[in-house]
Structure 1
């Protein structure tokens, strides 16, 4: 883990706001700019990165010595997910401490090698996984993903407050589903409200990294296992991801190298 320069948490206060889609596209944008990037799917209960990266079901990571795992490479990213370790239809019926232990083991026991950035796709909310990550590793910063909807913004504020309480810098906010443009007539409509992400960013003094549309192409590309940044790198949507990634790079460059803390040995037993 001491070969990882920066850990970036991609988080949201609630589910369904496009956090995982944002995480994979940001990771790919950082990779396209020449960085060595890893992507950890920390959503233990609902992992989705395996599908978004187009990795066939049943793909398992190779092991070393029965203890360490080699990350699975996809589109140039080194990736790890609970989706590789359990079937797509296998639910993780675990209490919080077990999920936290699983996160730490995927972090510590994956042979990441040298990385400039490890992007972590966090589960929604402000629970065990978020606290475990902040206690076990030095997170360089968090990106909060939201939609302009008032309910989503309330939860986004809770996410910002949670990271501030554990001394994790907020690198910025990404607003998804900001506007829908009709493909037939070109009419623009703010289905979930307007300027919500910008207001929250202004309230907390953090940058609005991107405002992305409610676009059918983003959904189709991600569902097909070829996210926007690799399938349509010249599109306006990809340009937004690239701009956000470069703003994150610039913010982290000012911080210097963020060392990762030493992890304790973890063992899981049936009791």
Structure 2
């Protein structure tokens, strides 16, 4: 065994050393935790609805009966707690592990905004501190058994996304973008980073794809026909799993902490893709 196994809490009962995250250079989970599938939700830039997609995907998977967790890794712009109306600060248990917050439907959640006393205080931390927090959110949380952990990653290709790629055994990422050519170019940077880190792109979500007229039902494309995202997905053998409309009613639900009340038909393709991955 490599020296990485020496500090692993599961080393005495380990039966799968070849696939052990610690042996592969990944950080181990806390004792008592097991996560079957880990999916990152990523983007090349901010403001494209990555946290929204993370929240809705978590809700849809929980409705299907899966045990779901969310790690809010967007440390400087955390918004997952607001999506679910979570306000209580996280606490440690007797084993000094962080107990995740629970949404009303049982989705386990950790976020820096559930640690800070002042929820509006800016997180002005340098890279090493940010990276240490991400590792704590992975290896020092009492996740228990989960079917899937969704990681809401910060935008771009900086320190924190790199830590997620290097320290956590991702099964793949879902890229979120709008269809503007400029945004698609930036998303390609995130796509290429995933390729360099040998993490597959499971699918791409085109967010804010269109607005549906409430009177006639016509779909009004906001940022073009989506061909640039189709091209990006095809280049890496992936596909656009969903095209999400800009719907003020859905936005209002999420902004008010009621993400668990969104309709069943949102993100149907991405949900199906995730279920297929969990089932493998």
TM-score (norm 2): 0.84
Quote the Cα distance in structure 2 between the aligned partners of 1:154 and 1:218: 28
Runs (5+) with no aligned partner, structure 2: 1-28
What residue number does 1:83 align with? 113
Runs (5+) with no aligned partner, structure 1: 255-271
CA contact (8 A) 2:148 2:278 kept: no
TM-superposed deviation, 1:184: 4.2
What residue number does 2:67 align with? 36
| Alignment counterpart, residue 135 of structure 2, candidates 104, 111, 114 | 104
CA contact (8 A) 2:56 2:266 kept: no
Quote the Cα distance in structure 1 between the aligned partners of 2:229 and 2:250: 19
Is 1:247 the counterpart of 2:273 in the alignment? yes
Q: Deviations over 1:55-84 (max 9, x none)?
A: 13xx11221247311010003200000000
What residue number does 2:187 align with? 156
What residue number does 1:139 align with? 170
CA contact (8 A) 2:250 2:262 kept: no
Is 1:210 the counterpart of 2:245 in the alignment? no
Please state whether the residue corresponding to 1:239 is helix, strand or coil: coil
Q: Deviations over 1:19-66 (max 9, x none)?
A: 00000111111111111110010011111011011113xx11221247
TM-superposed deviation, 1:104: 0.5
Quote the Cα distance in structure 2 between the aligned partners of 1:232 and 1:129: 30
| Alignment counterpart, residue 69 of structure 1, candidates 98, 107, 117 | 98
* C-alpha RMSD of matched pairs (Å): 1.5
| Alignment counterpart, residue 232 of structure 2, candidates 191, 200, 223 | 200
CA contact (8 A) 1:140 1:252 kept: no
Stretch of structure 1 that moved more, 239-248 or 163-172: 239-248
Q: Bigger relative contact order, structure 1 or 2, given CA contacts below 8 A and separation 6+?
A: 1
Please state whether the residue corresponding to 1:10 is helix, strand or coil: strand
Quote the Cα distance in structure 2 between the aligned partners of 1:124 and 1:232: 24
Quote the Cα distance in structure 2 between the aligned partners of 1:118 and 1:97: 23
TM-score (norm 1): 0.86
Please state whether the residue corresponding to 2:86 is helix, strand or coil: coil
TM-superposed deviation, 1:232: 3.6
Please state whether the residue corresponding to 1:168 is helix, strand or coil: coil
Quote the Cα distance in structure 1 between the aligned partners of 2:234 and 2:139: 36
Count of aligned positions: 246
TM-superposed deviation, 1:203: 2.3
Q: Which segments of structure 1 move beyond 4 Å, counting only runs of 4 or more?
A: none
